[in-house]
Each structure stands twice: as C-alpha cells, then as structure tokens.
C-alpha cells in the first residue's frame, strides 16, 4: 500500500509537497498505525495525537479527501492520500491550528444562567432528554464534522457549522441553561443547513445524531415563529 | 491563545504582562553538559546495580544566542487537567490573575483533554476513606477537606460540578441523579465530561492560557521557585514564566510502560511524560511514590485500537464479570476467593487478587486475560465502543477479545509538605508524593480536592513571602542551551528519539505491571542504565526545524521518561514487599514493620539514592 502524505514546514519550505512511501499493510490496520510506521521507518512527519482512542480529537485529518480520526480509521490495502484537516491553518505537515475553533466552541458551550444552581436543584432535570444530551456530551470537538460540511465550505459567514450547532443543541437540552438557544441556532444558520447528513456520516461518535438534533432545533424555533424568511 | 490579555506585573513595569526581552549572551557550554547528561547510578541498591555513573559522551553544540520572552503572572499553573483546573477555579475565585500552561492544545491536553465519560466519586465519611491506608500524608487530606469551599469531599460536590457546566445526564426517570456507586463510604456518578470545566473556567477574565507549550524546567533562584520555562511548540520559541508561586499538576506519566504499534500499555495521554516532575528531580528534589501505579485491563485487539479508552473494552473492577482466564472461564468470582463488593472501591485489593490468579496459571500465553461481553450489560461508555470494533470486522459478542493490564495512572512526583509545597519554596504540587501513595497516581475527586487546596496554600505563601528583590535568568539560558543541544546534536550512527524511547518502554513493559518479578526488574534496571550510558548521548533529531518538531519534543521527553523509569524500577526493587497495586512474587506479603513508609528517590552526584520517609497520620477529623 502506498501512502502519499502532505508535508509542509512554513518556516523552511516555499510551498507544500507530498511524500510517498510504500507501507506494509496488515489486517485491521488503522491510519494512525500506517502514519507511525512511515514516521518511524521512512522519514519524520509532524502529526499529533494523545488519547489513541477517539476522545481527544487531535488526530483529525483527511484520508482520501474525507475527514477522519486517524486513531480509529480503518485503512484498506490500496494507495491513499493523507492531508491535514480541512478548514484550519497548517502549522506543520498534518498538524493544524484549531485554537480559534476551540475557543469559539468553548464560548458556545458555556451555560448561561441568572444565578448558580442551588443544592436543592441537583435532582431536577428533564429525564426525557437526558439520554440525548448524554450522547451529545461525547463530542470530541475534533472538527471532523465541520471539515466534511459542504455548507460551511460554501457559506462560512452564514452557517456556523455542525460543531457549533451541536453545542447549541446541547445547551438547548440542558435543563439548567436559561439562554435563548433557539434564537441563537437560527441566527447561526440553522436554516442554511441542507440536511445532507454528512456530519452524521463522518462523525466517529456514532451516538451523536446531528440531523435529528437540527430537526429538533427547527421544530422548537418554528414553535416560536423564528423561521427566517429565506427558509419559507 | 490570547497573549495580549492583561496580566498584572509584579514590578508594575509591563502593563501588558507580556514583556519580550532578548538575551544576547553566549551559551555556557559547561553548564549545558551537566544539565543534559543527567544521571546514571543506582544509588545503594545492591545486587542489581550496574554501577554506571554519569556519562559525558555528548558534545555540546552552542546553538546561537538564547532568546526568549518573559511572561509575568500572579500565579503560574502548569497543566490543564483536573488538578490544574481545580486550582485555577480557586485562584480566580480569590481574584488572582493566573497563567495556565498546557502542553497540549487547551481542552485537548492530558487525561482531562480526552472528553471521556468520567465516573466522579465522593467519599461520604470523612477520615474513613480507604485511600488513607495507602501511606498517604493524612494531614494533607485533613487540611484540604476541612478548608474546602467547594465541598469536594462530600455529595455537595455535585453542586460544584453542576455549576462548572456538568449536566450529569445519567438520570433516573424522575430526573434525579442516578448514583452509579452508592456505598456507605463512596458515592459516584457516571457521565461527567471534563471539557465542561475548561469551558467554565474561560468565563473568568482572570485566566490567560498558554497552550501547546511544554514546560521543560522550573526557574529556581536561591532555593526558591520563581517560575518555569519551556517551548512554545508551534514555533519552537522559548518562554520563561515568572510567578511568585507555581502550581504543578502535569498528570500521571504512564508512557514508559510498554510499547505496541501506536501506544504504551496505557490508556493515558502521550502528553504526560513527567517533564516537570523530573526537572524538579534533576534539581535535587526528592521524588516519592515512583513504584506505584494504577491499573485496569484493556483489550489489545485490533492492535491500533488497543489501550484506547473509547476504542476498547475496559474490563475494570466495575465490569469484573467480563474478565475471563485463558480457558474463557470467569476469573473474578467468589469461587476464586474474591470479595466482589470490595473490588469496586478498593483497586489495590482488586489488582493484587487478579495478579495472584494470573500467577497461579490462569493467564493467557502473553500474560493477559480474555474478555467476554456476550450477553452482558455494559456501562454506557463501553457499550458505545462496540461499533468501532464492527468497523474493523470484529464482533465482540461472538469473539473473546484478548486483553492485558494497562497503567492508567502513576505516582513519581515531588515530595510535598502538609501545605502541598515541594522541597523548594514556591512550588506546589497538586499530585505530590503522599497524595495518593500506594493507590498509584491520582483520581478525579482527589485532584478536585487537592487542586483547590494547593491554590489556597500557594496564595497563603504569596501573601506571606518576602518580596523578590532580584531575579536571575541565568538558569533559563542554561536550559535554553540544553534543549537546543538536543535539537542540533550531531552524532555518527545517531539514534532517532523513537528508537531510544521504545527501548525504555520495552524494558519497563516486562516488569512494571501488576506482577513484578525480580529477575525482570533487574534486567530492566540494567537495560535502563545501558540506555542512559550508550543510547542517550547518541540520540539525534533527524529534522532540526523548530516548527512543531515532534521529534525534538520526543527527544526532550525521553530524558524525563528515562529518569522516571529508573526511579520506578529501582524503587520497586528496593521495596521488598507487596503493597499497593502490584504483586512481587518473591515478597508476596505486605511488611509494615519495614516498609510502611514512602520511598524518596533523590539525585546526588549523578546517582539515585533512596531514603525512607514516614507519613503523618491524623486521628482528630
Ligand atoms: C482514560 C482515563 C479514564 C479515567 N477514568 C477515571 C474515572 O472515571 N474516575 C476517576 O476518578 N479517575 C479516572 N482516571 C484517573 C485519573 O482521574 C486521571 O488520570 C487524572 O485525574 C487526570 O487528572 P490530572 O490533572 O492529574 O492530569 P491530566 O488530566 O492528565 O492533566 C495533565 C495536564 O498537564 C499537561 N502537561 C503534561 N506535561 C506538561 C508539560 N511538560 N508542560 C505543560 N503542561 C504539561 C497536559 O497537557 C495536561 O493538560 C482516568 C484516567 C484516564 C487516563
Ligand atoms: S488520538 Fe485522540 S481522537 Fe484520535
């Protein structure tokens, strides 16, 4: 199997290039295993990972044009192209700068309330939505969904992208949150989403159901007559 | 992140808090040699000593002028995991401007940077918790618990965590919290997610985060820690952080234990390589609890998914019923003599009992177990992993999957006093030696409790300290030279960092699990001494660019992993008993008469020496 890997060191190289190496395939191999093999046996590649198990989100990259988490992406015995995650500035080779993305998400995930939760409130939660919010809480914030979103690629100023929308949906379901999340979702482009479901396809946290969440947010928005004119 | 955010300068000179100063002095070559080459000896451990002493084989290459920026802060916190975040919440609540330095991307660094489904536990009967038996500094527990504004030692902790953004989504049908663990002494809830805390902390305007920055040394002036220094990884620039007090909380380092295709025998993070703990060690500070670690079991198949907490089956004490012996029979059973209630809150007991059964011939050929989840109700986070196996064509309900123990936490940290301060003034360690003792590392609730206490101690220290009248940055220049010598070293027949690292990992992989056999420990000690003497001077970085140079980072880390590995192996050999989470078959019993103490490893003249230290006990509660 041949791996074609993106290489770029902005401090040294005039422009990016690709390297190609033959990699011995083995059954049930992950993309991360293949990259480590090249790094250790052929030449140095800058790549980043931490949890080696679908939690930290740091190994996100493009495999043959599709965003994946390298640590849990199966790789087949044919030639492949590996590139840095789409939508972020490359720091070096396969390492991108996701700090602005991460800061934006942190803001979006912050709970908003008039005052802190009191001891008597710990047992008050909408049990009907608890399983859904439990699923959503597993988002690794890897950025794979955004990298695979056709609307975000085309209209980044109108649609904040699936990662942000999921953060909104999470706090929308959070019984302790008091902010107007329906309005926020609509203002951040909920109705620009074309419901193609690519976020569901590329996301490695299989329990997160993005499109269902968007439908839920739209229903809530429409109950309050928040559907924008361009969507009518 | 946000470097322009205001920090209060101690001197009042630099309002921005970020001053840039270039140092144009040449590099002191002799000092670099001493710092880079480290240790080699075996202390007074007879029998297994190879007697190697410090080598001076590597040539020092002056790498140009030391240039670095100086960043000033009220309080420096190294790390951004549970312990560090708890300290940070306390410090900003008291109005301090803090700087957090995280080696990983913030929110994604270390264990807490995995957005995993944590079981948060609380002790419900103060002074009675089982971990107080683990040779811990009970005064720390007493002080931390009785001064704790966040109630981290009782069920009101739930309120604290909810106010840090948690939802606790594991709810009963009436909306009340489902207590996953509800024993007389321990309560626990599933479904905490650490990134809630990162997000919540960022609400404070008093926090400045410097992430993707690896601290490589602490700044010591006249026996006082006045900050730390390290590399901003994206550019390779050197940064010096100045602070009247520094809090260290850089996680448990398990990365020296074994190597597979992409991972050590550990679910823990690639980030945690004991960098700062071992920097403190090289400054002569005592390091304790190196022999202790925490273990669970992890599946190892398919290889790339092995030891990944969300890509594996995790037959731990909570899912003991999935653990099978080599013949596929259930291993952790009453019939095999195991107290099934005790295992859920006493991991030491769990590990030792399983180790005994494995030694008694129940292990698979490679020393592990089999995992059978057929027909079993799995915890939600583990159940969620089954589709990952399916993508690789593995049906875990039909096959028994091989597994082995994995080290998820480790001790090996600076010795601290009852006010969390290390043996140098101004350095406070959330997970210092004596915090977890034979328990082996730390856990979420203890990190929550000790983190905020460390911050209270640091603040008290700052309030009472003498004004720093002079600051000497020479150590920063020495450190700059040390790390750049590692980057630019040129040796014929050089070894790339991963080659050296895998040798360290393989040496420890044979003997640092839950069963530690003497011959294997001795062989590992010998191999580690050889690596130090022969391989480390030959370690070279194949690409010398400073831009996010992962090889350079790995090479710097190897010095720390090697120090830590030697401390761990030697302390285990010295402790001629079985205590804590592992079993020494040659000394299968606990021996309180001789070993109810902490082993403190210390570097003197290039050799490790161990001393015994008794831990204070408390009865008043
Ligand atoms: C997958 C997993 C599951 C676990 N599950 C549980 C559980 O359910 N309940 C429980 O109680 N315990 C659990 N533990 C054990 C334990 O709780 C955690 O390991 C521990 O609490 C992590 O917190 P920490 O702050 O000590 O370290 P970490 O969260 O690992 O944080 C360490 C921080 O230090 C940074 N760092 C490291 N080196 C440097 C450096 N040189 N310079 C700057 N920064 C540095 C890292 O980037 C990171 O930000 C689990 C551990 C793991 C790994
Ligand atoms: S390494 Fe953490 S998600 Fe892949």
Whether residue B227 is found in the same domain as residue B104: yes
Q: How high is the pLDDT of residue B51? A: 28
CA quadruple B474, B475, B476, B482: dihedral sign: positive
Looking at the complex, does the CB of residue B554 fall below 8 Å from at least one CB of chain A?
no
Smallest Cβ distance to A125: which of B108, B175, B549? Answer: B175
Of B475, B504, B539, the position where a domain reaches its end is B475
Q: Cβ B171–A109 below 8 Å, yes or no?
A: no
B349 CA distance to ligand 1 middle (Å): 23
CA angle B277, B416, B290 (to 5 degrees): 50
Q: Is B209 a pocket residue for ligand 1 (Cβ < 6 Å)? A: no
Q: Cβ B384–A11 below 8 Å, yes or no?
A: no
Dist. CA A34–CA B497, nearest whole Å: 18
A149 CA distance to ligand 2 middle (Å): 20
Mean pLDDT of B223-235: 97
Q: Is the pLDDT of residue B125 over 80?
A: no
A139 CA distance to ligand 2 middle (Å): 12
Dist. CA A203–CA A194, nearest whole Å: 17
Residue B269 lies in a domain: no
Expressed in percent and rounded to 5, the helix, strand and coil fractions of chain B are 30, 20, 50
Q: How high is the pLDDT of residue B531? A: 98
How far apart are the CA of A149 and the nearest CA of chain B, in angstroms? 22
Whether residue B236 is found in the same domain as residue B376: no
Q: B545: which DSSP letter?
A: -
Closest-lying ligand 2 atom to the alpha carbon of residue A142:
3
Query: What percentage of residues in chain B have a pLDDT greater than 90?
Result: 79
How far apart are the CA of A223 and the nearest CA of chain B, in angstroms? 25
Q: What is the CATH number of the domain that holds B331?
A: 3.90.700
Mean pLDDT of B162-187: 93
Reported as a pLDDT band with limits 50, 70 and 90, residue B353 is very high
Whether residue B213 is found in the same domain as residue B89: yes
Mean pLDDT of B433-453: 95
Q: Is the pLDDT of residue B61 over 50?
A: no
B145 CA distance to ligand 1 middle (Å): 21
How far apart are the CA of B424 and the nearest CA of chain A, in angstroms? 31
Q: How high is the pLDDT of residue B32? A: 28
Residue B180 lies in a domain: no
Whether residue B326 is found in the same domain as residue B244: no
Q: Is the pLDDT of residue A153 over 60?
A: yes
Q: How high is the pLDDT of residue B21? A: 32
Q: Cβ A58–B104 below 8 Å, yes or no?
A: yes
Smallest Cβ distance to A92: which of B211, B304, B548? Answer: B548
CATH architecture of A2-97: Roll (3.10)
Q: Is B447 a pocket residue for ligand 1 (Cβ < 6 Å)? A: yes
Contacts of A131 in chain B (CB under 8 A): 169
Reported as a pLDDT band with limits 50, 70 and 90, residue B317 is confident
Q: What is the CATH number of the domain that holds B212?
A: 3.50.50
Of B475, B505, B520, the position where a domain reaches its end is B475
Whether residue B387 is found in the same domain as residue B467: no
The predicted model scores a pTM of: 0.92
Residue B377 lies in a domain: yes
How confident is the model over A21-31, as pLDDT tens digits? Answer: 999 999 999 99
The distance of Cα B309 from the centroid of its chain, to the nearest Å, equals 17
Q: How high is the pLDDT of residue B157? A: 87
Domain boundaries, chain A: 2-97, 99-223
Task: Report DSSP letters for B189-249, one per residue.
Answer: EEEE-THHHHHHHTTSTTEEEE-SEEEEEEEEETTEEEEEEEEETTTTEEEEEE-S-EEE-
Contacts with A, B 208-227, CB within 8 Å: 211
Smallest Cβ distance to B159: which of A122, A127, A139? Answer: A122
How far apart are the CA of A35 and the nearest CA of chain B, in angstroms? 10
Q: How high is the pLDDT of residue B351? A: 86
Q: Is the pLDDT of residue B47 over 80?
A: no
Q: Cβ B106–A99 below 8 Å, yes or no?
A: yes
Residue B91 lies in a domain: yes
Q: Is B407 a pocket residue for ligand 1 (Cβ < 6 Å)? A: no
How far apart are the CA of B594 and the nearest CA of chain A, in angstroms? 39
How confident is the model over A42-96, as pLDDT tens digits? Answer: 999 999 999 999 999 999 999 999 999 999 999 999 999 999 999 999 999 999 9
Whether residue B101 is found in the same domain as residue B215: yes
Q: Is the pLDDT of residue B64 over 70?
A: no
Q: Which residue of A has its CA nearest to B391?
A: A74
Smallest Cβ distance to B388: which of A54, A95, A110? Answer: A54
Q: Is A57 a pocket residue for ligand 2 (Cβ < 6 Å)? A: yes
Looking at the complex, does the CB of residue B122 fall below 8 Å from at least one CB of chain A?
no
Q: Is A219 a pocket residue for ligand 2 (Cβ < 6 Å)? A: no
How confident is the model over A183-202, as pLDDT tens digits? Answer: 999 999 999 999 999 999 99
> Which position has the higher pLDDT, B122 or B250?
B250
List residues bridging with B228 in a β-sheet.
B218, B241
Residue B337 token pair: 């003599």
CB pairs < 8 Å spanning A and B: 222
Residue B239 lies in a domain: yes
Q: Is A216 a pocket residue for ligand 2 (Cβ < 6 Å)? A: no
Contacts of A80 (CB under 8 A, 6+ apart): A1, A2, A3, A4, A31, A34, A63, A64
Q: Is the pLDDT of residue B38 over 80?
A: no
Whether residue B239 is found in the same domain as residue B332: no
* Number of neighbouring beta carbons within 10 Å of residue B228: 28
Q: Is the pLDDT of residue B43 over 80?
A: no
B438 CA distance to ligand 1 middle (Å): 18
β-strand pairing of B98-101 with B75-78: parallel
Which of A101-110, B167-176, B372-381 is least confident?
Answer: B372-381
Residue B344 lies in a domain: yes
Contacts of A106 in chain B (CB under 8 A): 107, 198-199, 202
- The superfamily CATH assigns to domain A99-223 is Alpha-helical ferredoxin (1.10.1060.10)
Smallest Cβ distance to A127: which of B105, B171, B387? Answer: B171
Closest-lying ligand 1 atom to the alpha carbon of residue B276:
41
Mean pLDDT of B29-55: 28
Q: Cβ B199–A141 below 8 Å, yes or no?
A: no
Residue B310 token pair: 């969300």
Q: Which residue of B has its CA nearest to A113?
A: B163
B231 CA distance to ligand 1 middle (Å): 21
- Provide the residue range defining the domain that includes B30: 2-111+207-252+458-475
Q: Is A69 a pocket residue for ligand 2 (Cβ < 6 Å)? A: yes
Q: Cβ A33–B170 below 8 Å, yes or no?
A: no
Q: Is the pLDDT of residue B18 over 60?
A: no
How far apart are the CA of B144 and the nearest CA of chain A, in angstroms? 22
Nearest ligand for residue A58 CA: 2
Q: How high is the pLDDT of residue B425? A: 97
H helix runs in chain A, sequence order: 31-41, 99-109, 130-136, 144-147, 150-154, 162-173, 181-187, 198-202, 210-223
- What is the pLDDT of chain B when averaged over all its residues? 88
Dist. CA B609–CA B293, nearest whole Å: 21
The count of structural domains within chain B is: 2
Task: Report DSSP letters for B438-496, one per residue.
Answer: GG-S--HHHHHHHHHHHHHHHHHHHHHSPP------HHHHHHHHHHHHHHH---TT-B-
Contacts of A103 in chain B (CB under 8 A): 1, 202
Residue B602 lies in a domain: no
Mean pLDDT of B471-477: 94
Looking at the complex, does the CB of residue B565 fall below 8 Å from at least one CB of chain A?
no
Which of A2-6, A36-40, B151-155, B359-363 is least confident?
Answer: B151-155
Which of B48-62, B165-179, B600-614 is least confident?
Answer: B48-62
Q: Determine the residue of A30, A34, A58 to mutate for testing ligand 2's pocket, defined as the one with the most ligand atoms within 8 A of the Cβ atom.
A: A58
Q: Which residue of A has its CA nearest to B261?
A: A33
Reported as a pLDDT band with limits 50, 70 and 90, residue B319 is confident
- What is the pLDDT of chain A when averaged over all its residues? 98
Q: How high is the pLDDT of residue B431? A: 98
Of B415, B445, B475, the position where a domain reaches its end is B475
Whether residue B238 is found in the same domain as residue B368: no
How far apart are the CA of A62 and the nearest CA of chain B, in angstroms? 18
Q: Is A51 a pocket residue for ligand 2 (Cβ < 6 Å)? A: yes
Q: How high is the pLDDT of residue B55? A: 28
B436 CA distance to ligand 1 middle (Å): 14
Q: Provide the b/e sequence for B367-379 (b: ≥16 CB within 10 Å).
A: ebbbbbbeeeebb
β-strand pairing of B427-429 with B413-414: unpaired
Q: Cβ A51–B113 below 8 Å, yes or no?
A: yes
Contacts with A, B 142-201, CB within 8 Å: 156, 158-159, 162-163, 165, 167-177, 191, 193, 195-196, 198-200
Q: How high is the pLDDT of residue B44? A: 27
């Amino acid at each position: 199997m041949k791996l074609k890997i993106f290489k770029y060191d902005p401090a040294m190289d005039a422009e990016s290039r690709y390297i190609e190496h033959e990699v011995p395939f083995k059954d049930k191999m992950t993309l991360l295993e293949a990259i480590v093999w090249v790094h250790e046996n052929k030449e140095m590649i800058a790549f980043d990972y931490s949890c080696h198990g679908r939690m930290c989100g740091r190994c996100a990259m493009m495999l043959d044009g599709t965003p994946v988490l390298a640590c849990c992406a199966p790789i087949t015995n044919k030639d492949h192209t590996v590139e840095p995650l789409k939508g972020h500035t490359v720091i070096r080779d396969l390492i991108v700068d996701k700090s602005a993305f991460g800061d934006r998400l942190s803001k979006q995930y912050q709970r908003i309330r008039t005052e802190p939760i009191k001891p008597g409130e710990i047992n008050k939660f909408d049990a009907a939505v608890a399983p859904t919010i439990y699923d959503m809480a597993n988002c690794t914030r890897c950025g794979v969904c955004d990298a695979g979103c056709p609307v975000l690629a085309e209209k980044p100023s109108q649609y904040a992208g699936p990662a942000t929308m999921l953060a909104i949906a999470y706090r929308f379901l959070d019984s302790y949150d008091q902010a107007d999340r329906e309005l926020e979702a609509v203002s951040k482009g909920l109705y620009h989403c074309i419901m193609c479901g690519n976020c569901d396809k590329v996301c490695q946290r299989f329990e997160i159901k993005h499109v269902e969440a968007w439908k839920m947010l739209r229903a809530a928005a429409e109950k309050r007559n928040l559907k924008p004119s361009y969507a009518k | 992140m946000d470097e322009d955010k205001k920090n209060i300068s101690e001197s009042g000179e630099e309002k921005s808090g970020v001053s840039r100063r270039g140092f144009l002095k040449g590099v002191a070559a002799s000092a670099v040699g001493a710092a880079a080459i480290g240790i080699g000896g075996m202390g007074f451990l007879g029998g297994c000593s190879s007697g190697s002493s410090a080598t001076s084989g590597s040539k020092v290459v002056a790498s140009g002028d030391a240039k670095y920026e100086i960043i000033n802060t009220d309080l420096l916190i190294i790390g951004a995991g549970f312990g560090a975040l708890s300290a940070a919440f306390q410090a900003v609540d008291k109005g301090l401007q803090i700087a957090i330095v995280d080696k990983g991307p913030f929110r994604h660094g270390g264990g807490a940077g995995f957005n995993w489904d944590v079981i948060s536990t609380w002790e419900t009967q103060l002074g009675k918790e089982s971990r107080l038996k683990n040779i811990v500094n009970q005064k720390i527990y007493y002080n931390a618990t009785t001064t704790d504004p966040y109630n981290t030692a009782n069920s009101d902790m739930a309120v604290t965590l909810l106010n840090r953004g948690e939802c606790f989504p594991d709810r009963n049908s009436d909306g009340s919290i489902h207590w996953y663990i509800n024993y007389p002494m321990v309560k626990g809830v599933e479904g905490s997610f650490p990134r809630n805390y990162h997000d919540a902390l960022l609400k404070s305007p008093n926090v400045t985060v410097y992430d993707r920055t690896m601290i490589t040394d602490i700044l010591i002036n006249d026996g006082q820690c006045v900050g730390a220094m390290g590399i901003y990884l994206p550019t390779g620039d050197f940064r010096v952080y100045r602070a009247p007090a520094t809090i260290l909380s850089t996680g448990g380092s398990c990365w020296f234990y074994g190597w597979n295709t992409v991972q050590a025998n550990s679910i823990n993070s690639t980030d945690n390589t004991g960098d700062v703990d071992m920097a403190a060690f090289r400054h002569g500070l005592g390091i304790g609890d190196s022999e202790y670690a925490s273990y669970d079991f992890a599946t190892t198949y398919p290889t790339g998914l092995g030891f990944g907490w969300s890509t594996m089956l995790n037959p731990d004490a909570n899912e003991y019923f999935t653990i099978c012996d080599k013949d596929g029979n259930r291993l952790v059973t009453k019939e095999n003599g195991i107290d099934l209630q005790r295992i859920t809150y006493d991991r030491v007991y769990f590990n030792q009992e399983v180790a005994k059964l494995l030694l008694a011939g129940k292990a698979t050929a490679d020393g592990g177990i089999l995992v059978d989840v057929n027909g079993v109700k799995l915890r939600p986070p583990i159940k969620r992993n089954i589709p990952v196996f399916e993508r690789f064509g593995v049906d875990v309900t039909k096959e028994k999957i091989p597994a082995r123990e994995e080290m998820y936490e480790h001790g090996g940290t600076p010795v601290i006093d009852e006010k969390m301060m290390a043996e140098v003034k101004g350095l406070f360690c959330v997970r210092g030696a004596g915090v977890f003792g034979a328990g082996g590392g730390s856990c979420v609730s203890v990190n929550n409790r000790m983190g905020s206490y460390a911050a209270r101690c640091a603040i008290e220290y700052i309030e009472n300290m003498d004004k720093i009248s002079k600051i000497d940055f020479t150590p920063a220049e020495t450190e700059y030279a040390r790390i750049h010598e590692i980057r630019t070293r040129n040796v014929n027949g050089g070894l790339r960092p991963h080659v050296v690292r895998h040798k360290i990992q393989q040496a420890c992989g044979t003997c640092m699990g839950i069963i530690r056999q003497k011959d294997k420990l001795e062989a590992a000690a010998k191999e580690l001494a050889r690596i130090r003497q022969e391989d480390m001077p030959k370690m070279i970085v194949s690409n010398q660019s400073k831009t996010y140079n992962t090889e350079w980072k790995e090479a710097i880390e190897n010095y720390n992993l090697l120090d830590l590995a030697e401390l761990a192996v030697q302390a285990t050999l010295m402790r001629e008993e079985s205590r804590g989470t592992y079993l020494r078959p040659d000394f299968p019993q606990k021996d309180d008469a001789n070993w109810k103490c902490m082993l403190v490893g210390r570097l003197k003249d290039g050799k490790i020496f161990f001393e015994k230290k008794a831990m204070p006990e408390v009865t008043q509660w």
